[in-house]
């Protein structure tokens, strides 16, 4: 949809009771903490790297060491997380109708007319091509063991059947200027013409297909005026710096918000009242509770962004409450610091192993943006996916390739093509990726073109060469079993090899071997080495 059509549709469109979560006190605090529910000692770290941007954003008010009552997901859940290795990340929402880049972020720089039209787009939401089973078939063919899906992005539109209600929203076109007005809406897919809970359909299909589920959920909500001024809410307030912070000094995110939002994007409104903040946190908790209780087993909740110090005690209580309801759900650490179970380097694979005892998942768009990218030349290719997947696995992490469906529920043909090629490669080489672990210390690589993983029992090392090693592959950090047979994945016969302490392991790789490999092997060459 182009800009003109968007405005015209919005102009045409413009012509219950809040369900509070159990355990809230009158002040919005959870009082039912069970002091006996403490996590046993874990072999995993629960401390984020201090280089993580979102850790830094909340370090000024989220305790570095969680309170004693808090507990994390079990080691079993952590192990299952580390076994996945490869997933697909999906951003889908109102922004997909317009094919906007960068998900709902363009909302912040829209004119007031465009903003008003955007928040009414839910009345046009009808993705006629959406089919949850087709999506799952595609994910399986791609070799993905999990998917992450946007249940609600920052624009506040929920793609699930929520009972939580929005009570205040902005009227951007009021005669006296933008004002906060009363409303009573779920602002969800169930109020759209589509009227189908796509989160339920996706979860049901994932359960049938053995694919793990990660439901993305945005802490801030730009549609709900009660959420002002938390993290880029368009209804900014003069003293937003005391709530939206970066680092320990609690400095304002933006010295001049207009440099970020544009001349027409800044609207000054009063600070939220205590009533508004409590109502906001009740709605926030209710929606998270719905996501982990209504859809069967949900493996992960993909929290994003942050709220702020004034409501952190309530958010911390929410996390205690959610842990009690579903102890083994893994939570992304964004907005909750070391209360989280995993973190997500975004748009890059860490250059080193970092803290491999704290689980991590790289999230990286396959196109130029996390949302739908209509330009075929922007998609990076199956070789790019495989190289980054190998690199992440070697360092002890997981890798997600991010794509977005269009407004009808269809993926770009280039995304489909490249991910299916990845699946072909994984069917040949997957035993060296799935359920593997990083080697100790710096033994995850040799040079620029060789990466290693190992089996969990440490009896097998998998060596991946990004390029064909011509006549031989020389490895100095691997000593094979004397009676071991070394294989190239995709080739049935064992390869000839020699080993001595001065030259290391030398594996013969003649050209005729390469010629007999199955189609799809060229994206990366995996060797199985018993040790």
Write the DSSP string, 155-198: T--BSS-----EEEEEETT-TTSSEEEEEEE--BGGGSSS---H
Q: How far apart are CA 193 and CA 124, in angstroms?
A: 7
- For residue range 299-353, what is the model confidence (pLDDT) as tens digits? 999 999 999 888 999 999 999 999 999 999 999 999 999 999 999 999 999 988 7
- Same domain, yes or no: 138 and 278: yes
Alpha-carbon span 60 to 62, nearest angstrom: 6
Same domain? For 245 and 337 the reply is yes
Domain shared by 393 and 462, yes or no: no
Domain at 488, CATH number: 2.60.40.1180
> Domain for residue 439, yes or no?
no
Q: Is the pLDDT of residue 287 over 60?
A: yes
Tell me the sheet residues that pair with 487.
528
Confidence of residue 7 (pLDDT cuts 50, 70, 90): very low
Which residue did the predictor score with more confidence, 215 or 235?
215
pLDDT interval class at 39 (50, 70, 90): low
Number of residues assigned to the chain: 531
Last residue of a domain, one of 432, 458, 477: 432
Between these two residues, 234 and 163, which has the higher pLDDT value?
Answer: 163
Q: Which of 302, 399, 359 is nearest to 81 (CA)?
A: 359
Q: CB-based burial of residue 331 (10 Å sphere; 0-12 exposed, 13-18 middle, 19+ buried)?
A: buried
Q: Report which of residues 286 and 233 the model is more confident about.
A: 286
- Are residue 361 and residue 450 in the same domain, yes or no? no
Same domain, 152 and 183: yes
Evaluate whether residue 45 is within a structural domain: no
Same domain, residue pair 237 and 355? yes
C-alpha 435/C-alpha 455 separation (Å) is 7
Confidence band of 262 (pLDDT split at 50, 70, 90): low
Residue 472 belongs to what H/E stretch?
strand 472-475
Domain holding 208: CATH number? Answer: 3.20.20.80
- Can you give 22-62 as a three-state secondary structure string? CCECCCCCECCCCCCCCCCCCCCCCCCCCCCHHHHHHCCCC
Do 84 and 181 lie in one domain? The reply is yes
246 — pLDDT class (breaks 50, 70, 90): very low
In a domain, 129, yes or no: yes
Residue 305: the pLDDT is 95
What confidence score (pLDDT) does residue 229 get? Answer: 78
pLDDT at residue 183 tops 90:
yes
How confident is the model at residue 1, as a pLDDT? 54
Range of the domain at 519: 446-530
Cα separation, 365 vs 379, in Å, equals 9
- For position 265, what pLDDT does the model report? 55
Residue 203 banded pLDDT, cuts 50, 70, 90:
very high
pLDDT band with cut points at 50, 70 and 90 for residue 358 = confident
Once rounded to an integer, what is the mean pLDDT over residues 411-419? 98
Final residue belonging to a domain, choices 406, 432, 458: 432
Q: How confident is the model at residue 60 (pLDDT cuts 50, 70, 90)?
A: confident
The C-alpha angle 84, 307, 399, rounded to 5 degrees, equals 15
What is the model's pTM? Answer: 0.90
Query: Does one domain contain both 407 and 453?
Result: no
Residue 261 pLDDT grade (very low, low, confident, very high; cuts 50, 70, 90): low
Q: Does residue 347 form part of some domain? A: yes
Q: Is residue 30 part of a domain?
A: no
Residue 273: CB atoms within 10 Å = 10
Average pLDDT, integer, range 238-261: 51
Asked if residue 469 is part of any domain, the answer here is yes
Among 432, 465, 480, give the residue marking a domain's end. Answer: 432
Q: Is the pLDDT of residue 186 over 90?
A: yes
Do 81 and 216 sit in the same domain of this protein? yes
pLDDT at site 32: 39
- Tokens 């972020």 identify what position? 105
DSSP state of 486: B
pLDDT exceeds cutoff 60 at 253: no
Q: What is the domain count for the chain?
A: 2
Read off the pLDDT of residues 441-485 as tens digits, 9 standing for 90 and up.
Answer: 999 999 999 999 999 999 999 999 999 999 999 999 999 999 999
Residue 29 has pLDDT above 80, yes or no: no
Within this chain, do residues 377 and 526 fall inside the same structural domain, yes or no? Answer: no
Residues 277 and 366 grouped into a single domain:
yes
Q: What is the mean pLDDT of residues 118-126?
A: 97
Q: How confident is the model at residue 404 (pLDDT cuts 50, 70, 90)?
A: very high
**pLDDT tens, position by position, 70-107:** 999 999 999 999 999 999 999 999 999 999 999 999 99
Confidence label for 357 from pLDDT (cuts 50, 70 and 90): confident
What percent of the chain clears pLDDT 70, i.e. is strictly above it? 86
Bigger pLDDT: 21 or 429?
A: 429
Per-residue pLDDT, 310:
86
508-521 pLDDT, tens digit per residue, is 999 999 999 999 99
State the pLDDT confidence band at 259, using cuts at 50, 70 and 90.
Answer: low
Sign, Cα dihedral of 453, 456, 459, 460: negative
Q: What is the overall mean pLDDT for the chain?
A: 89
Cα separation, 341 vs 42, in Å, equals 12
pLDDT for residue 155 = 97
pLDDT of residue 423: 98
Question: What is the chain's alpha carbon radius of gyration, rounded to the nearest angstrom?
Answer: 25
In a domain, 42, yes or no: no
Same domain, 149 and 177: yes
Worst-scoring range by mean pLDDT, 9-13, 165-169, 213-217?
Answer: 9-13
> Does 34 map to a domain?
no
pLDDT of residue 249: 45
């Amino acid at each position: 949809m182009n800009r003109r059509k968007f405005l015209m549709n919005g102009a045409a469109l413009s012509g219950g009771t809040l369900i509070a979560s159990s355990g809230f006190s009158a002040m919005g605090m959870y009082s039912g903490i069970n002091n006996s529910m403490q996590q046993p000692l874990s072999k995993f770290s629960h401390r984020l790297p201090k280089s993580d941007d979102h850790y830094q954003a909340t370090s000024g008010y989220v305790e570095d060491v969680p309170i004693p009552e808090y507990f994390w997901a079990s080691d079993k859940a952590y192990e299952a997380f580390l076994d996945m290795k490869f997933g697909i990340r999906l951003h889908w929402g109102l922004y997909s109708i317009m094919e906007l880049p960068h998900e709902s972020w363009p909302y912040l720089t829209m004119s007031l007319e465009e903003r008003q039209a955007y928040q009414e787009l839910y009345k046009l939401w009808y993705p006629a091509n959406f089919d949850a089973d087709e999506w799952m078939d595609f994910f399986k063919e791609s070799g993905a063991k999990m998917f992450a899906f946007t249940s609600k992005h920052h624009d506040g539109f929920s793609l699930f059947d929520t009972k939580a209600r929005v009570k205040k929203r902005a009227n951007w076109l009021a005669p006296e200027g933008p004002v906060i007005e009363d409303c009573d809406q779920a602002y969800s897919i169930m109020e759209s013409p589509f009227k189908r809970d796509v989160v339920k359909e996706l979860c049901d299909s994932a359960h049938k297909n053995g694919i793990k589920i990660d439901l993305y959920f945005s802490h801030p909500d730009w549609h709900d005026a009660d959420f002002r001024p938390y993290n880029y809410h368009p209804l900014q307030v003069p003293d937003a710096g005391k709530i939206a912070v970066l680092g320990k000094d609690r400095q304002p995110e933006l010295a001049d918000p207009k440099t970020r939002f544009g001349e027409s994007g800044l609207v000054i409104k009063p600070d939220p009242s205590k009533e508004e903040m409590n109502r906001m946190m009740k709605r926030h908790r209710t929606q998270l509770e719905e996501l982990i209780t209504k859809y069967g087993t949900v493996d992960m909740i993909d929290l994003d962004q942050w709220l702020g110090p004034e409501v952190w005690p309530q958010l911390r209580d929410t996390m205690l409450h959610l842990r009690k309801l579903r102890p083994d759900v893994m939570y992304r650490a964004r907005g909750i610091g070391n209360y989280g179970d995993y973190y997500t380097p975004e748009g890059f694979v860490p250059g080193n192993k970092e803290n491999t005892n704290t689980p991590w998942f790289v999230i990286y768009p396959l196109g130029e943006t996390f949302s739908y990218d209509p330009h075929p030349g922007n998609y990076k290719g199956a070789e790019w996916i495989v190289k980054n997947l190998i690199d992440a696995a070697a360092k002890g992490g997981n890798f997600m390739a991010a794509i977005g469906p269009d407004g009808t529920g269809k993926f770009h043909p280039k995304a489909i093509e490249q991910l299916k090629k990845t699946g072909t490669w994984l069917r040949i080489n997957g035993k060296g990726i799935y359920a593997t672990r990083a080697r100790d210390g710096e033994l995850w690589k040799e040079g620029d073109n060789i990466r290693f993983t190992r089996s969990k029992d440490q009896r097998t090392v998998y060596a991946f060469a990004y390029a064909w090693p011509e006549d031989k592959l020389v490895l100095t950090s691997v000593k094979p079993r004397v009676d071991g047979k070394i294989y190239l994945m995709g080739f049935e016969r064992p390869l000839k090899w020699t080993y001595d302490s001065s030259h290391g392991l030398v594996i013969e790789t003649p050209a005729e071997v390469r010629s007999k490999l199955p189609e799809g092997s060229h994206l990366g060459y995996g060797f199985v080495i018993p040790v």
